[in-house]
Amino acid sequence: MEIRSDFLVIGSGIAGLFFAVKASEIGSVAIITKKEKAESNTNYAQGGIAAVISTQDSFDLHIQDTFNTGVGLCHRDAVELLVREGPSRLKELMNIGVEFTSKEGVLDLGREGGHSRNRIVHAQDRSGSEIERALLNAIATRPNITMYENHLAIDLITEHHLGKSVTKESSVNCWGAYVLDIHDNLVKKFLSPVTVLCSGGLGQVYLHTTNPQIATGDGVAMAYRAGAKIGDMEFIQFHPTSLYDSGSPAFLISEAIRGFGGILKTKRGDEFMQRYDERGSLAPRDIVAQAIDSELKKFGDDYVLLDVRHLPSDKIKEKFPHIYQTCLSKYKLDITQEQIPVVPAAHYACGGVVTDLHARTAIGNLYACGEVTMSGVHGANRLASNSLLEAVVFSHIAYEDVRNNRSMLEIKIPEIPEWDDSGTFDTEEWVLIEHDKKEIQQVMWDYVGIVRSDLRLERAHRRITLVQNEIENFYKRTKVVEGLIELRNFATVADLIVRCALKRKESRGLHYTTDYPERNDNQWLHDTIVSCWDA
């Protein structure tokens, strides 16, 4: 079965939906999303969007805060573009219908770790959900957009699928994707002259994560197999404060609570963050996560405590209603009266598919936006609430690039063969999928987490390589199903993280290794880039 459109958008988070709304003005848009349309990392985002709104703030301050948090690896041109575009894109979201929290007609600005000013525009503590709601409403009013729920991309369609020999020197182009209709168990061809990868994150590769079940790194894995450059995968952000023992995905306790005055303490009541950073509990996430990890290992504890009992309870309930109500009703925890047990959990990938200032990848006709990318704005650690900002800014930039080069929409797509699963068979050995998934998650958590070493990384590499080979052999012999496609991507992404971490012989930002505990600007002040050609 073949479905054609002017634009194919893979993913239904803020990046994909914002691009689709804009692109529908100049062409037809097909959006594929692997679950329900609102299931995305965006929907789980609590904090908000960082933007320079206040007269007490400036572009230069936001740029500097981003640079400081990124520990030297941010690309200046990308960061300046991100920050300067922020206010305009924020206004567009508001015009679309996003209702941000305001007081007496003025946007209420919060502060989070690493920010020197209050600049977090939010919708109480459910900002992502509110943005997703408004964008989905906008999508529903545009007949040029068709949403395909429960459709999972298998692979990007390139010259490889035409039977051509593809090398490192080849010019590779994308004409869409092979996609599994999960409900009908049917592989379809989605063909388009322009494909936009907005597939989100990869937190499910780790045992403990704040990411939803869909965050399996599909976009990074597909782009890697197609020949795109992948960068900085060693920089995985662990959110310092997920609710202890809250299941998978772990329930996130927003950084904005610390911005509001919450204090981190050990079980013994010690305020420990001042020993690690002069900003205390408002230090950037990498510093806070490493400090918590150190304290847990020092005392053998399972969690530390986030204390907001000293803050006005009515203000806590007003500013963080979702967190307050969820903790109270689901976890029987009154955060205004009790301390909150928290632990770090995998939260955000700063690396991904390498893109330029126009959101283009190294593959022709393929753009990428949002968490799936390495756009250069995050460096070695993401500044809080720059993620939704990046998604909306670079999806706008991708649209502008196509709008200014409309001849792209007239690209002649070659004859693409149907999906060929001849010689494969159905199997009932799905227990192997679940076993391999859990093994990868455990290995990544134990050996490629907050604190690393060469010994741990090399052990992880051996085990991931073994599992990856088994999965690939199984994949080639078996008809594709959702779990197998995701498992294949799981293994690919885990391998990329480990390989990048092994390359970087220093500690910087989110990558901390006991073998090279110091930052080394002389040798490592550059991105870590890998591709399928150097595997």
C-alpha 210/C-alpha 249 separation (Å) is 5
Q: What is the pLDDT of residues 277-326, one digit of tens each?
A: 998 988 887 889 889 988 988 888 889 999 999 999 999 999 899 899 99
pLDDT for residue 231: 98
Residue 419 belongs to some domain of the structure: no
First-to-last alpha carbon distance for the chain, in angstroms, is 34
Find the CATH number of the domain harbouring 373. 3.50.50.60
Rounded mean pLDDT of 339-347? 94
DSSP conformational letter for 251: P
- In percent, how much of the chain has pLDDT > 90? 76
Instruction: Name the band, by pLDDT with cuts 50, 70 and 90, for residue 171.
Output: confident
More confident: 214 or 190: 190
Residue 134 and residue 249 share a domain: no
pLDDT for residue 46: 60
Residue 492 belongs to some domain of the structure: yes
The Cβ-side half-sphere exposure at 156, using a 13 Å CA radius, reads 34
Q: What is the pLDDT of residues 490-519, one digit of tens each?
A: 999 999 999 999 999 999 999 999 999 999
Find the CATH number of the domain harbouring 449. 1.20.58.100
Residue 142 and residue 87 share a domain: yes
- Tally Cβ neighbours within 10 Å of residue 420: 10
pLDDT for residue 285: 79
pLDDT for residue 477: 86
Residue 464 and residue 436 share a domain: yes
Residue 171 and residue 73 share a domain: yes
Residue 495 and residue 354 share a domain: no
Residue 48 and residue 6 share a domain: yes
- Within 8 A by CB and 6+ apart from 292, the residues are 240, 264, 304, 342, 343, 344
pLDDT for residue 361: 98
- In percent, how much of the chain has pLDDT > 70? 97
pLDDT for residue 52: 97
Residue 456 and residue 328 share a domain: no
* Burial (CB count within 10 angstroms: exposed 0-12, middle 13-18, buried 19+), residue 469: exposed
- How many folded domains does the chain comprise? 3
Range of the domain at 331: 243-344
Task: Cite the beta strand spans of 182-231 per DSSP E.
Answer: 186-191, 194-197, 230-231
pLDDT for residue 535: 66
Find the CATH number of the domain harbouring 329. 3.90.700.10
Residue 224 and residue 132 share a domain: yes
Chain centroid to Cα 115, Å, comes to 20
pLDDT for residue 490: 93
Amino acid identity, residue 31? I
What is each CA distance from 447 to 106, 129, 292, 450, 451, in whole angstroms?
A: 47, 33, 17, 9, 8
pLDDT for residue 298: 87
Asked if residue 238 has pLDDT above 60, the reply is yes
Residue 356 and residue 283 share a domain: no
pLDDT for residue 47: 67
Residue 263 belongs to some domain of the structure: yes
Task: Cite the beta strand spans of 60-193 per DSSP E.
Answer: 102-103, 106-107, 109-110, 120-121, 145-149, 151-156, 176-181, 186-191
pLDDT for residue 45: 55
The residues carrying an active-site annotation are 285
Residue 226 and residue 155 share a domain: yes
pLDDT for residue 11: 95
pTM over 0.85, yes/no: yes
Which ranges of 246-308 does DSSP label H, i.e. alpha helix?
Answer: 256-259, 285-299
Instruction: Name the band, by pLDDT with cuts 50, 70 and 90, for residue 44.
Output: low
Residue 416 belongs to some domain of the structure: no
C-alpha 145/C-alpha 25 separation (Å) is 10
Residue 57 belongs to some domain of the structure: yes
C-alpha 323/C-alpha 124 separation (Å) is 10
Q: Peptide bond before 249: cis, by omega within 30 degrees of 0? A: yes
pLDDT for residue 37: 56
Asked if residue 487 has pLDDT above 60, the reply is yes
Residue 418 belongs to some domain of the structure: no
Rounded mean pLDDT of 10-39? 90
